[in-house]
Amino acid sequence: MSMLTDFFIPQRVILAIMGFLAILNAYTMRISLSIAITELVVKKNHTDIDGEAAVCVADDMDHGTPTGGTYEWSEELQGFILSSFYIGYIVTHIPGGLLAEKFGGKWTLSLGILSTAFFTLITPLAIINGGATALIIVRILMGLGEGTTFPALSVLLAQWVPANERGKLGALVLGGGQVGTILGNLLSGVLLDAFDWPIVFYIFGGLGVVWFIFFCFLCFNDPTLHPYIKPSEREYLAKELGRLGRKEGLSPTPWKAILSSVPMIALVCAQIGHDWGFYIMVTDLPKYMSDVMQFSIKANGLYSSLPYIMMWIVSIGSGFVGDWLITRNILNITNTRKMMTGIAAFGPAIFMVAASYAGCDRLAVVILFTICMGLMGAFYAGMKLSPLDMSPNYAGTLMAITNGIGAITGVITPYLVGVMTPNATLLEWRTVFWVAFGVLCVTAFIYCIWASGEVQDFNDPSPRKDHDSEERAKPSDNEKQKH
């Protein structure tokens, strides 16, 4: 199959497509529970609070109202169930990055996705036989498998994607999160409307297994290991990347230099802000649409997916715009990343809050959430590419640190939402969005001041030098002073 595709598609593009599908599958498996849980739990009865509707009144717009299920799980317990995935997800980020840098990203990525697929497939069995406790355990195990995804992909992209194509192909790969969320929400709504709730876990888990099989045959760690790559593409990548394969004798990870780097701290802050807003939306938007807006399950899947369609379009478009700004020397890499990150933080913060003030105007709410998540798509041509910019040699570790710390918000936000919305009312949700507004704005402000798109000194730490090498270094230092 690789020999056939080689005549039409460069191998780095094939890798990017398979990376896109990896994240797509990861997200469908991750978020399938977010809509399914609305069919698992008993629906609440609401009353008016302080003269304002606690929730909206269902109408004929979606041809049905939410039905609910039989499990009596409180909002706080639901929040913990939804956040439990990220407990495991955090744990394997840094080990995944280190393993990918040492042995290559192929098996670190693929085996992680395969294990997530397995635990997705057994989720219905866990719920039926073990209830909430078994579901929490399975979700933690799913997170352990999926935690290697972004670090391993960062290593693969650093081995395959030249800097002048990083915006386009990087945005394509990372855009898999939006498409996975779109398909996860949309197909879950359709499937749950037509079949019993276990079907979503069987479908998405099965697709993860299919992806694993294709990826194993089509993709390789780096161009030197690819048996079917054209010599012209190998030479091009050698010229653009400056090296082929993982750097031999790479120094141990310079943890102190990385963790004390001001641009790295700024990057971590931006990741925290992005993930805070993103995880509220990706994990809890279906609950908001069901509990507050009173959409039926089929309509919930549709309207919860629309914001991510816009987000995907913007993420791809911003990648092209970012590359164009850089190649035309309109903006340097640093300012391009800062501009995209600013758009992707301040814009969503405003429109997220605005959606809560639209009340029960369903059309306005859907439009505002769609604009909110659309603007957030610019993150993928902004701070999401900073690990590749700052350190090609340690991109997996940088991505592991930033994504791992950011993923802590995946544990905090769903649980916090459950605590802050015990009655699942509009006023309670409005407070949730105001908190997200503050987190997004403060963290983006820090990034826009102190971030960098330049290769950092810790990317190529000097090996231990003997006395002679130190002496040989002195003339070059003096020459620098002269200039």
Residue-wise pLDDT tens digits, 299-333: 767 777 788 888 888 888 888 888 888 888 898 88
Locate tokens 């003339």: which residue?
A: 475
Is the C-alpha dihedral spanning 480, 481, 482, 483 positive or negative? Answer: positive
DSSP letter at 383 equals G
Q: Does pTM surpass 0.75?
A: no
- CB neighbours of residue 271 within 10 Å: 27
Residue-wise pLDDT tens digits, 131-162: 999 999 999 999 999 988 888 888 888 888 88
Q: Is the pLDDT of residue 67 over 70?
A: no
Q: Would you state the pLDDT for residue 178?
A: 77
Radius of gyration of the chain (CA): 23
| Residue 77 CB partners (closer than 8 Å, separation 6+) | 132, 418
CA distance between the termini of the chain: 55
Q: Is the pLDDT of residue 441 over 90?
A: yes
Label residue 467 by pLDDT band (50, 70, 90). very low
Tokens of 280: 């509220």
Distance CA 112, CA 19 (A): 13
Cβ pair 20, 172 in contact under 8 A: yes
Is the C-alpha dihedral spanning 68, 72, 75, 76 positive or negative? Answer: negative
- Reply yes or no on domain 10-45+59-233 having CATH 1.20.1250.20: yes
Residue-wise pLDDT tens digits, 368-400: 999 998 999 898 888 888 887 888 778 778 877
User: 255-456 falls under which CATH superfamily?
Assistant: MFS general substrate transporter like domains (1.20.1250.20)
Total residue count of the chain as it appears in this document: 483
Q: Would you state the pLDDT for residue 68?
A: 60
**What's the mean pLDDT in 21-34?**
91
Q: Residue 247: which of 181, 155, 178, 325 has the closest Cα?
A: 155
Ordered by start, the domain boundaries in the chain are 10-45+59-233, 255-456
Partners of 41 in the β-ladder: 71
Q: Would you state the pLDDT for residue 53?
A: 55
- CB neighbours of residue 224 within 10 Å: 15
